Amino acid sequence: MSSAVVTAAPRFPALENLRSRLHLDATTLKIIAVVLMFADHIHQMFGPMGAPQGLSMVGRIVFPIFLFLMADSFHYTRNRKKFLTRLFIASTVMSLGSMIISIMFPNPYVVLMNNAFSTFLVAGLYMWFYDIIRDGVRTHNAKRIVKGALLCLVPIITAIPMFLVGSLADDPYMSLTTLRVIIGIAGLVPNLLMVEGGFLMVVLGLLFYIFRENRWIQIAIFAALSIFVLIHSGPADIQWMMIFAIPFMLLYNGKAGRGMKDFFYAFYPAHIWILYIISTLLIAFNVLPITEYYQNLTR
């Protein structure tokens, strides 16, 4: 187990004592996040059959936790190109797999568009672009500054085809299967529009990275974003509940832990696809009744 401290932890006697007892390293924190993510996706897949929304409420803290930990991972990885390539492959497999499964198991009540890998990939790209610009500023290298700035435009430009997909979605003659195929193909190219959680999650990941040496600033930015979501969208939009990830960020001891990288890469798509297929089969065979709310949505 690694003993290297990555992000400097805020120091208060009571907090230090609790942190030393809990041993909340990166791997442990990811396992907690995975459990809550599983609960969140149970609601996503079985919400039409009455799964409580509370499962998704606890799941709001998952995305920020993974982005928070990714800021350290990207800084300390030995090979950034390999890191980003792995995320690109995972994102591609997730997009293609979800597209195929959606076609094989059509579900009128659940849309299978989960792909957190795409968010991590685009966030990682912007972390890389930021370093290029920062190095250019420090070395007074105008070419590197311009290069970094131009690279920042790439995920924005690659989002342009998605506006075409949006116009096709309004076509009453467009079949759901065809639309899913088009969305799946468009999602293969990293872009700001198709990332799960929206571009604000990419911004959050980048800010976690920029201020990774000061956890108080990280938390202050994250709290401000959560409050903004609450004010802008209202309490009915449960995304603001991601603010409850702050205690986990404070208690994180900055150590890497055992890693278990392959497990996390495999578990994410596997559990989503399995839950989706089970949900689809239960609906197809009328094992559990669909709630009136979801029935009205499809009329």
Q: Which domain holds residue 197?
A: 13-297
5: in domain = no
Q: Could you tell me if 179 and 213 are in contact, meaning their C-beta atoms sit under 8 angstroms apart?
A: no
1: in domain = no
8: in domain = no
Which tens digit of pLDDT belongs to each residue from 231-288?
999 999 999 999 999 999 999 988 888 888 999 999 999 999 999 999 999 999 988 8
Q: Could you tell me if 256 and 27 are in contact, meaning their C-beta atoms sit under 8 angstroms apart?
A: yes
Q: Which residues contact 135 (CB under 8 A, 6 or more apart)?
A: 141, 144
Cα distance between residue 179 and residue 47, in whole Å: 23
Instruction: Give ∠ CA 59-61-26 in degrees, rounded to 5.
Output: 115
Cα distance between residue 132 and residue 128, in whole Å: 6
Residue 171: pLDDT band with limits 50, 70, 90: low
3: in domain = no
**Higher local confidence (pLDDT), 79 or 298:** 79
The token duo for 187 is 């999602």
Instruction: Give ∠ CA 75-79-84 in degrees, rounded to 5.
Output: 80
Question: Which of 280, 269, 275, 278 has the alpha carbon at shortest distance from 95?
Answer: 269
Structural domain total, the chain: 1
7: in domain = no
Handedness of CA 275, 35, 226, 86 (dihedral sign): negative
199: in domain = yes
| Alpha helix ranges (H) inside the chain | 13-22, 26-46, 54-59, 62-76, 80-104, 116-138, 142-157, 160-169, 176-186, 199-210, 215-233, 246-251, 261-284, 292-297
Which tens digit of pLDDT belongs to each residue from 108-163?
899 888 999 999 999 999 999 999 999 999 999 999 999 999 999 999 988 877 76
2: in domain = no
To the question of pTM greater than 0.85 for the whole model, the response is yes
Tokens 């409580």 belong to 52
Question: Which of 211, 189, 275, 260 has the alpha carbon at shortest distance from 67?
Answer: 211
Q: 79 pLDDT exceeds 90?
A: yes
Mean pLDDT of the chain: 88
Residue 3: pLDDT band with limits 50, 70, 90: very low
260: in domain = yes
The token duo for 198 is 């929206």
Q: 6 pLDDT exceeds 80?
A: no
